[in-house]
Each structure stands twice: as structure tokens, then as C-alpha cells.
């Protein structure tokens, strides 16, 4: 039945493309998580009323985050071609997409981190400060634990956005399901290939969302 309706679909190729999409998503997500946490913390701590309140530094970090967050992903890929070539020694394949994926998603997650930190009860922070807690202690014992459910929700949203970005990157040579849907599907006139690739992308998105929701619900003690 499957071969009858999807005669142009090679499941081995589909699985390989799925593996490339998952690889690009997970690697870039790991870097985006670390960089986003750092940038988000800096935005929060140097902001008004923050522990390291510093308006000029906050303005610079905010500007950098806003600039890279606002650039359409396909334009960002083009802008970073030279940097990608220097760093990865290629502009094709899953690895070549990683710099643009990280640079595009980290600022997005940084803003979500900042929002999550702003939701932490200021009374808890002040109580920790009044007890003589160091800034590092407040960060790792108060801010991050208290905002963890929102941080997990934020990284889930970022992961899903990254799936869409990998599809765009795939359309210009990065591989994965996006490349398969565009080259083997759309350009070759094989609608069935495009359809199956789309279904696999949706399945990945649903899996990420379910995992994110389960983790968030488990650690959210409210």
C-alpha cells in the first residue's frame, strides 16, 4: 500500500534525512541553550534594578541580541557564508548550517531567559541578598532553579523554531528533511516525497513538544 501511494519515497533516504535534521537541531540547541542562558543572565543582571546594573553594557548586549534575533534566517545564512567557510571549511551539509542555527537561535532564547528571570519573585532575591549570599550563589541557587520551568518551556519553543530553521537551511544545501522536501520533492515534482518529509518534520515537532511539556510539568512545583 505504501509503495503504491508513495512510489517515489525511499525510506532509507527519509531516515538519513531525519537523522541529519535531528543532528542539526540537537547540536545547535545545546550551544543555543548555553549561550542563551549567559546572554539572558547578563541582560537581567545588568538591567534596571539588577545585581550588576549597568545601562551601557545592557544596551550593547540588548542591541546585539535584537539585531541577530531580527535578521531573517535565510539572510543570516548568506551573511555568514564567509564565517561558516572559515569555521567549518565547507558551506554544504549539516555541519555548515550549525553556525547560522546557533547565532540565529541563541539571541531568541536569550530573550526568553530574560523574561523567565524577570518572573522570579524579587522578595526571594532580596532575602538571599540580605543573608549575605554572593551573586553566583543567587544565580545558581535562586534565579535558575526558580525560573527552571519557564527556561524549559523556552528551550522547547526554541527547539521547535530550530526545526523550521533546519528546513530552510536544508533548502539551500544543508541536508536534512528540508533538503529532501525541496530538492527530491518540489524540484523533482515528487509531491509524495514532500508530503512524507513534512509528516516526519511534524512528528519531530510533536515529540519535542511532548517531552518539553512533560519535563516542565514534572519540575513545576506551583
- Evaluate whether residue 222 is within a structural domain: no
Note the pLDDT of residue 189: 79
Mean pLDDT for back-to-back runs of 10 residues, the chain (222 residues): 66 90 95 96 90 91 93 90 88 89 95 93 86 88 92 95 90 85 81 90 95 90 63
Note the pLDDT of residue 155: 96
Note the pLDDT of residue 2: 55
Looking at the structure of the chain, the number of domains it has is 1
Note the pLDDT of residue 124: 87
Q: Write out the residue range of the structural domain in which residue 101 sits.
A: 2-217
- Evaluate whether residue 145 is within a structural domain: yes
- Evaluate whether residue 213 is within a structural domain: yes
Cell numbers given for 210: 511532548
Helices and strands, number each (H, E), in the chain: 11, 0
Note the pLDDT of residue 105: 95
Cell numbers given for 92: 554544504
pTM of the predicted protein model: 0.90
Q: Which of 76, 106, 65 is nearest to 168 (CA)?
A: 76
- Evaluate whether residue 117 is within a structural domain: yes
Note the pLDDT of residue 204: 95
Amino acid at each position: 500500500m505504501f509503495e503504491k501511494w508513495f512510489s517515489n519515497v525511499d525510506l532509507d533516504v527519509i531516515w538519513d534525512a531525519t537523522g541529519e535534521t535531528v543532528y542539526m537541531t540537537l547540536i545547535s540547541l545545546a550551544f543555543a541553550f548555553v549561550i542563551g542562558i549567559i546572554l539572558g543572565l547578563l541582560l537581567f543582571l545588568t538591567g534596571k534594578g539588577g545585581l550588576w546594573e549597568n545601562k551601557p553594557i545592557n544596551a550593547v548586549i540588548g542591541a546585539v541580541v535584537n539585531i541577530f534575533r531580527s535578521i531573517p534566517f535565510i539572510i543570516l545564512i548568506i551573511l555568514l557564508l564567509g564565517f561558516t567557510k572559515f569555521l567549518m571549511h565547507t558551506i554544504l551539509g549539516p555541519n555548515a548550517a550549525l553556525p547560522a542555527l546557533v547565532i540565529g537561535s541563541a539571541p531568541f532564547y536569550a530573550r526568553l531567559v530574560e523574561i523567565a528571570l524577570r518572573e522570579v519573585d524579587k522578595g526571594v532575591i532580596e532575602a538571599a541578598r540580605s543573608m549575605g549570599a554572593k551573586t553566583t550563589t543567587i544565580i545558581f541557587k535562586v534565579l535558575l532553579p526558580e525560573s527552571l520551568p519557564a527556561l524549559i518551556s523556552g528551550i522547547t519553543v526554541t527547539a521547535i523554531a530550530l526545526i523550521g530553521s533546519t528546513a530552510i537551511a536544508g533548502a539551500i544545501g544543508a541536508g536534512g528533511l528540508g533538503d529532501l522536501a525541496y530538492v527530491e520533492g518540489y524540484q523533482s515534482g515528487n509531491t509524495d516525497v514532500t508530503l512524507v518529509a513534512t509528516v516526519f518534520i511534524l512528528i519531530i515537532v510533536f515529540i519535542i513538544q511532548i517531552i518539553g511539556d512533560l519535563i516542565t510539568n514534572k519540575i513545576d512545583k506551583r
